[in-house]
Chain A
Amino acid sequence: MSDYHLIVIGAGPGGYIAALKASSLGLRVAVVENREVGGTCLNRGCIPTKTMLHSSRLYREMLGCQEMGLSAETVHVNIGAIYARKQDISSKLSSGIAGMFQNAKVDLLCGTGKIFAPNVVQVMAADGEHTYTADDILVATGSVPARPPIPGLDLPGVMTSDELLDGCGHLYRSIIIIGGGVIGVEFATFYADLGCAVTIVEGLDRLLPNMDREIGQNLAQILKKRGVQIYTKAMVQSVTQSADALSVSFSVKDTTLSVSGEVVLCAIGRRPDTEGLFAPELAPEMNGRSLKVDARFQTSIPHVYAIGDVSSKIQLAHVASAQGTACVELLCGHQPSVDLSVVPSCVYCRPEIACVGMTEQEAKDAGISVKVGKAVMFSNARTMIEGSDRSFIKVVARTDDHRIVGAQLMCERSTDIISQIAQAIANQLTPEQLLKAMRPHPTFEESLGECLETLAANL
Chain B
Amino acid sequence: MNYPAALKYSKNHLWVKMEGDVATIGITDFAQDALGDVVFINFPQEGDTVIAGERFGDVESVKTTSDLVCPVSGKVCEINESLADTPDDLNLAPYRHWIIKVDGITGTQELMDSIAYEAFCALAGQA
Contacts and interface: CB of A to CB of B under 8 A. Distances in A.
Interface of A: 213-214, 217-218, 220-221, 224, 374, 376, 378, 390
Contacts of B42: 214, 217
A interface majority secondary structure: helix
Contact of A220 (B43, B45, B62, B84): B84
B65 interface: yes
A224 B85 contact: yes
Chain B contact-residue range equals 10 to 19
Nearest to B44: A213
A376 B84 contact: no
A376 B85 CA distance: 18
A364 B62 CA distance: 29
B113 interface: no
B66 to A, nearest CB: 12
Given A214-B42, A218-B40, A378 B62 contact: yes
A217 B84 contact: yes
Contacts of B118: none
Nearest to A378: B62
Nearest to A214: B42
B60 interface: yes
B84 A390 contact: no
Interface string B55-87: 000001010010000000000000000001101
A129 to B, nearest CB: 57
B25 interface: no
A220 B83 CA distance: 12
Contact of A221 (B45, B65, B84): B84
A224 B82 CA distance: 12
A384 B45 CA distance: 31
22 contacts: A213-B45, A214-B42, A217-B40, A217-B42, A217-B43, A217-B84, A218-B40, A220-B84, A220-B85, A221-B40, A221-B84, A221-B85, A221-B87, A224-B85, A374-B65, A376-B40, A376-B60, A376-B65, A378-B39, A378-B62, A390-B39, A390-B40
A337 B125 CA distance: 60
Contacts of B43: 217
Interface of B: 39-40, 42-43, 45, 60, 62, 65, 84-85, 87
Contacts of B85: 220-221, 224
A-B CB proximity, top 8 nearest: A378-B62, A224-B85, A217-B84, A221-B85, A214-B42, A376-B60, A390-B39, A390-B40
Contacts of A378: 39, 62
A421 B65 CA distance: 24
A378 B39 CA distance: 10
B44 to A, nearest CB: 10
B78 to A, nearest CB: 13
Nearest to B46: A205
Given A376-B40, A378-B39, 5 more contacts: A214-B42, A217-B84, A221-B84, A221-B85, A390-B40
A189 B110 CA distance: 47
Nearest to A230: B85
A361 to B, nearest CB: 9
B104 to A, nearest CB: 22
Contacts of A221: 40, 84-85, 87
A30 to B, nearest CB: 52
Contacts of B65: 374, 376
Nearest to B41: A217
Contacts of A390: 39-40
A221 B40 CA distance: 9
B77 to A, nearest CB: 15
B85 to A, nearest CB: 5
A214 B60 CA distance: 12
A224 B81 CA distance: 14
Nearest to A213: B45
Contacts of A214: 42
A199 B19 CA distance: 38
Contacts of A218: 40
Contacts of A376: 40, 60, 65
Contacts of A224: 85
A363 to B, nearest CB: 17
B84 to A, nearest CB: 6
A41 to B, nearest CB: 34
A299 to B, nearest CB: 40
A218 B42 CA distance: 10
Contacts of B40: 217-218, 221, 376, 390
Nearest to A389: B39
Contacts of B60: 376
B88 to A, nearest CB: 11
Nearest to B87: A221
